[in-house]
Structure 1
Amino acid sequence: MDQLDWNLLRAFLHTAEAGSLSAAARRLGLTQPTLGRQVAAIEQQLGVSLFERIGKSLQPTPTGLALLEHARAMGAAAEELGLAASGHVQAVDGVVSISATDMVAAHLLPPLLLRLREQAPALRIEIVTTDALSDLRRREADIALRHVRPTEPELIGRLLREASASFYASKDWVRRHGHPRQAAEAARHAFVGSDRSGHYLGYLRAHGLPLSEDNFSAYAENSHTGWALVRQGLGIGAMMDEVAQSDPDVVRVLDEVPPVVFPIWLVTHRELRTARRIRIVCDLLAQALMAPAGAAAGSA
Structure 2
Amino acid sequence: MRTRFDRLALLETFVRIAERQSLSGAARDLGTSQPSVSRQLAALESRLGVVLVRRTTHDVTLTPDGLALLPDARRMIGEWEAIEDRHSEEDALKGTIRVIAPVALGQGLFVRAAAQFMKDHPGITIDWRLRDDVIRFAEEGCDCWLKIGPVPDDSLVVREMARVERLVVGTPDCLGRHVGMGLDAMPWLTLGPFEGNRIELFDQNEAAQSFSVIPKMASDNIFAIYEAAIQGVGIAIMPRWFVASDLDNGTLVDAAPDLRAARLPVNLARASGTKRPARVEKFCNALQDWCAARL
TM-score by length of 2: 0.59
SS at match of 1:245: helix
2:198 counterpart residue number: 202
Kindly report which structure 2 residues correspond to 1:187-266, keeping only aligned pairs within 5 A, or say none: 187-195=184-192, 200-204=196-200, 208-213=209-214, 216-247=215-246, 248=249, 249-266=251-268
Deviation at 1:252, TM superposition (A): 1.1
Kindly report which structure 2 residues correspond to 1:266-285, keeping only aligned pairs within 5 A, or say none: 266-270=268-272, 274-285=276-287
Count of matched residue positions in the alignment of Structure 1 and Structure 2: 203
C-alpha distance in structure 2 between counterparts of 1:149 and 1:188, whole Å: 31
C-alpha distance in structure 2 between counterparts of 1:264 and 1:198, whole Å: 14
C-alpha deviations, 1:58-78, integer Å up to 9, x for none?
xxxxxxxxxxxxxxxxxxxxx
Deviation at 1:120, TM superposition (A): 1.6
1:23 counterpart residue number: none
C-alpha distance 205-165 of structure 1, shift in aligned 2 (>3 A): closer
| Contact 1:192–1:237 (Cα < 8 Å) also in 2 | yes
- AA of the residue aligned to 1:252: D
C-alpha distance in structure 1 between counterparts of 2:180 and 2:244, whole Å: 17
| Contact 1:150–1:156 (Cα < 8 Å) also in 2 | no
| Contact 1:144–1:267 (Cα < 8 Å) also in 2 | yes
C-alpha deviations, 1:108-146, integer Å up to 9, x for none?
113212211211223222332222222222225321122
C-alpha distance in structure 2 between counterparts of 1:167 and 1:87, whole Å: 50
2:50 counterpart residue number: none
> Quick check: 1:88 aligned with 2:91?
yes
* Divergent runs of 4+, >6 A: none
5+ unaligned residues in a row in structure 2: which ranges?
A: 1-81, 203-207
C-alpha distance in structure 2 between counterparts of 1:266 and 1:194, whole Å: 22
C-alpha deviations, 1:172-209, integer Å up to 9, x for none?
323433487xxxx11221011234x9961135489524
C-alpha distance in structure 2 between counterparts of 1:253 and 1:283, whole Å: 35
C-alpha distance in structure 2 between counterparts of 1:273 and 1:291, whole Å: 28
| Contact 1:93–1:120 (Cα < 8 Å) also in 2 | no
- AA of the residue aligned to 2:222: S
Deviation at 1:267, TM superposition (A): 1.1
5+ unaligned residues in a row in structure 1: which ranges?
A: 1-78, 294-300
Deviation at 1:222, TM superposition (A): 1.0
> Quick check: 1:142 aligned with 2:137?
no
Deviation at 1:232, TM superposition (A): 1.4
Which stretch of structure 1 is more off in the superposition, 103-112 or 131-140?
131-140
| Contact 1:134–1:141 (Cα < 8 Å) also in 2 | no
SS at match of 1:166: strand
SS at match of 2:198: helix
C-alpha distance 127-228 of structure 1, shift in aligned 2 (>3 A): farther
| Contact 2:99–2:144 (Cα < 8 Å) also in 1 | yes
1:118 counterpart residue number: 119
- AA of the residue aligned to 1:224: F
Deviation at 1:264, TM superposition (A): 1.7
User: Matched residues, percent identical?
Assistant: 13
Deviation at 1:236, TM superposition (A): 0.7
What is the RMSD computed on CA atoms of the aligned residues? Answer: 3.1
Which stretch of structure 1 is more off in the superposition, 141-150 or 230-239?
141-150
> Quick check: 1:103 aligned with 2:88?
no
C-alpha distance 132-257 of structure 1, shift in aligned 2 (>3 A): same
2:170 counterpart residue number: 169
SS at match of 1:158: strand
C-alpha distance in structure 1 between counterparts of 2:216 and 2:212, whole Å: 12
C-alpha distance in structure 1 between counterparts of 2:201 and 2:257, whole Å: 16
Which stretch of structure 1 is more off in the superposition, 201-210 or 152-161?
201-210
C-alpha distance in structure 1 between counterparts of 2:134 and 2:194, whole Å: 20
C-alpha distance in structure 2 between counterparts of 1:267 and 1:209, whole Å: 31
TM-score by length of 1: 0.58
SS at match of 2:94: coil
